[in-house]
Structure 1
Amino acid sequence: MNAIKKMEKQSGFRLFLLILPLLMLVFVFSYMPLYGWIYAFFNYKPGKALFACEFVGLDNFKMMFADSYAVKNIVRVMKNTFGMSFLGILTSVLPMGFAILLSEIKNKPFRKFVQTSVTIPNFISWVLVYSIAYVMFSVNDGFVNRMLVSMGILDQGVNFLASPNHVWLTMTAWGLWKGLGWNAIMYIAALTSIDDELYEAAKIDGAGRFQLIRHITVPGLLPTFFVLLILSIANLLNNGMEQYYIFQNAMNKESIEVLDLYVYNQGMVGYNYSFSTAVSMLKSVVSIVLLFFANTTSRLVRGESVF
């Protein structure tokens, strides 16, 4: 017994050594930057040493709730953030559906072609995505506008990219087009863990293709879906900024500016580093609260949780 315990300890230590480089990377890139939160407690001025700047304590945090202009902007930004995040959550079932449909393609070369074609956009930068959008929807030279005008549907081109109308839907659509194939990879991997004997037994009992999907495939993918759903809820405030920064312009800024882009605009464009750091800190705290809320809700409802 002692020899077995000694071997288990050695095996565990070796596994720890294997993940140690990854833990170090997480510490360097995820925890060390938290030192920058200290800027939120100073009235930092570029070019001056941090501790040479005025210490203001919690003034930057109070400004988010006391200054009427700041409150108005934060409410607007939070509305955009939650709106687009909820649309993202509503469409999060589509990658699972795509993975199921892909698994039903029996021709392997064609299936690989479809999967590769849908996954490639994930590796295209948002700058190139905007270039595609500009070629398609620009006012004068866009393919869509030229086609609609030539067909007599429109008298003149419509500036789709600058319109504030339906920005949430268009951003969700572009994000879905770019990430559908990549997000489906985890579901495709989960499909391989479903026991083939379940399908064989169901076929013997007379189950058709749709019955197999409903009673075996979908239940087999639901644990993966709920884990990703919990993580999505925890990231409600983390939309990222690349997509919205690229598509942002003076006409649609009010509707497209999410929290991450607002932090960037306040800090890097408006040089208000301390206030933007305070907003970013509050976002991190709220994200942690949402993660624990979603995890607890999952444990109570489904009896399962991420941690």
Structure 2
Amino acid sequence: MQALCPGTQRKQLSRAGFRPFWLAAALLLWSFQIWASPLPDDRCELIYDLGDPSLFEFVETRQSVDFGLYQGRAIGEIHYRVLPIFNEDDPAENNWLYRAANFLHIETRETTLEKQMIVSPGDPLDRDHIRENERLLRRNDYLVDAMIVPHRVCADRIDLLVVVRDVWTFSPSASASRSGGDDSTSAGFTESNLLGTGQRVATGYFDDADRSGHFFSYRNPLLPARVQLNLSYTNASDGESLSGGLLRPFYQLNSRWSAGLDVQRENLLERIEENDQTVNRYRLEDNRYDVFVGWSPGVQDSAVSRWRLGIT
């Protein structure tokens, strides 16, 4: 038998002692991962997945959903699915032009949709409330269609899936013409879903026989507290006009109050002509101010009454 030196004996004993320690540590870590991971809920049923191809068929899919089966059940999580302009899984829409449009287009943001939701997690599900929220989303001109379907149904809740499909929102324009010896030109663009935020901006210029100038307009319907902002400015050769307003509308059937403020100012130089000759001209100034408040008791007996009081 070969004798081991003291140093070698200590190394072997050290390795042997560490083996149980590493096995115990690995077992403890595995147990912690099992304890920390959520347990699968066998009582939940997946209805519509985010990648379900039937989501592109809005009319048929919406008709197949009966929210009356889940009336009163608590709403759990709300998920969002923004479909592209063109369905690249459809052979009729899978070509380089449509793919380029999908690539260049900025999709509607989830936060933009969240600001327009009137159903919230924790609320009891109401079928009419769901359909009303769908109508509010479809009112946007930057969406082709919108629907709300059940994502997952559990014993104590129902998770919802909000599905919308975008439309191309950038619209450039240009024109040139000649009539009666006078030239007319104009150019500009309109973007109705700026960076996917639901904001609208338009700008451009015009030049014709009567006047020339440029214009700019901006609309943001999704400010906090459901407030909308509208701005418009035109600077032309015969003067300028400016308008702006803040509006808090009755954004849903059960809204209880509304208010608004609108300001319009014009400063124009008007001309009176005879036989292409200016025989008189005058300055026109127009300042207009509107303010109102509105209130409502909400939905009562399937009807809505609203009152509005204002001054101009």
TM-score norm. by structure 2 comes to: 0.20
Of Structure 1 and Structure 2, the greater strand share is in 2
Q: Which structure has the larger Rg? A: 2
TM-score norm. by structure 1 comes to: 0.20
Q: Relative contact order (alpha carbons < 8 A, sep ≥ 6): 1 or 2 greater?
A: 1
Of Structure 1 and Structure 2, the greater helix share is in 1
